[in-house]
Amino acid sequence: MSKHSQNAISVYAPASMGNVGVGFDLLGAALAPIDGSLLGDKVSISAIATGVEFEQVGPWAHKLPTELTENIVYQCAEFFLDKLQTNTGVKLVLQKNLPVGSGLGSSASSVVAALYALNEHFDKPFDEQALLLLMGEFEGKISGSVHYDNVAPCYLGGMQLMLNTQDKVCAAIPSFKEWYWVVAYPGISLSTAKMRALLPEQYDKGVAIDFGRYLSAFVHASYQQDSKMAIEVLKDVMAEPYRAAAIPGYLDAREALTQLGMLTTGISGSGPTLFSVTDSLEKAQQAKEWLEQHYLTEQGGFAHVCQLDEQGTRRV
């Protein structure tokens, strides 16, 4: 445990969509732009004599706390050194490529990249499940509550269903390889805690039954590879009805995307990023262009045609 790699390690952790519309807090998917660009944070780690040195760079670093000890990546490093009771130190550099408060699992991406890099650097003191639990705990410090629908797909890739059983946090379910996920981030930031506060404390019995039916039907359809059924039940009865109005332009965009022939559209995580699904690359490109022209309102907004990132977090 005390032996560790002297060479710098660099880790990439992909963006993710929490909820995927149909599975509030219970389903999540990692994203890979089809143009090959990397949509996620990177953390590099190297050994130093003692303590934690930390630097944050990249296009969204200016949105992070200026007090470095408040940064979650710094806190992850302190936790590791404390836990392992090691005398050596680490230097971490966070390349912050994802906008905060975007609905793309930005905090999860930083936490997962950092904990993965630390675990590799110190020769894997934590196994996969233990590391995942740790990732959820640290991400929960930022988002205000522990839910794994971003950290699990970000870490493990693909489409992940949360189980939260005694032995298993989550399991991968089959995805539809022919689907394109067009995601668009308008450029504004929304706090997950505030978007959660918009939801009712209690749900109607009919809504609870619909939620259970849609999610279980979606999982069934995924295993059957029945894309028609999957699209039919990819409906959000838990969050979208209460969050849609708080996301500028969302309802108009959803309507326009339907007119363009997209199969379904929903909110990525707690927004403001939206996702829209199609099995036609041509339609995906048209949707991306429409979103670039009409949904991106602030500097820094972007749209990507994605498929799912099946690899999850990895060394780069």
Question: Hey, is 178 helix, strand or coil?
Answer: coil
Shortest distance in whole angstroms from residue 135 CB to ligand HSE? 14
The contact mask relative to ligand HSE for 253-272 (x = CB under 6 A, - = no) is ----------------xx--
N residues, the chain: 316
| Window of 51-59, 66-74, 146-154, 289-297 that interacts with ligand HSE by CB under 6 A | 146-154
Q: Would you say 149 or 309 has its CB closer to ligand HSE?
A: 149
Residues sharing a CB contact under 8 Å with residue 18, sequence separation 6 or more, in sequence order = 25, 28, 103, 105, 147, 149, 150, 268, 269, 270
Stretch that binds ligand HSE, among 48-56, 114-122, 142-150, 254-262 (CB under 6 A): 142-150
Which of 135, 45, 81 minimizes the C-alpha distance to 316? 45
- Looking at the Cβ atoms of 47 and 171, the one nearer to ligand HSE is 171
How near is the Cβ of 257 to ligand HSE at its closest, in Å?
A: 20
Rounded CA separation 7/208 (Å) = 51
Distance CA 33, CA 18 (A): 17
63 binding ligand HSE? (CB under 6 A): no
Kindly state whether residue 153 participates in binding ligand HSE, applying the rule CB under 6 A.
Answer: no
Nearer to ligand HSE, 195 or 256 (CB): 195
Q: Is 271 annotated as a binding residue?
A: no
The edge-to-edge listing of strands for the beta sheet with 40-48 is 52-57, 89-95, 40-48, 9-14, 314-315
* Sequence-ordered alpha helix ranges (H) in the chain: 72-84, 106-121, 128-143, 151-156, 192-197, 205-224, 227-233, 240-243, 250-259, 281-294
159 binds ligand HSE per the rule CB under 6 A: no
Q: What residue numbers does the annotated binding site for ATP cover?
A: 99-109
Q: What does the binding site for ligand HSE look like in residue numbers (CB under 6 A)?
A: 18-19, 25, 147, 149-150, 192, 195-196, 239, 269-270
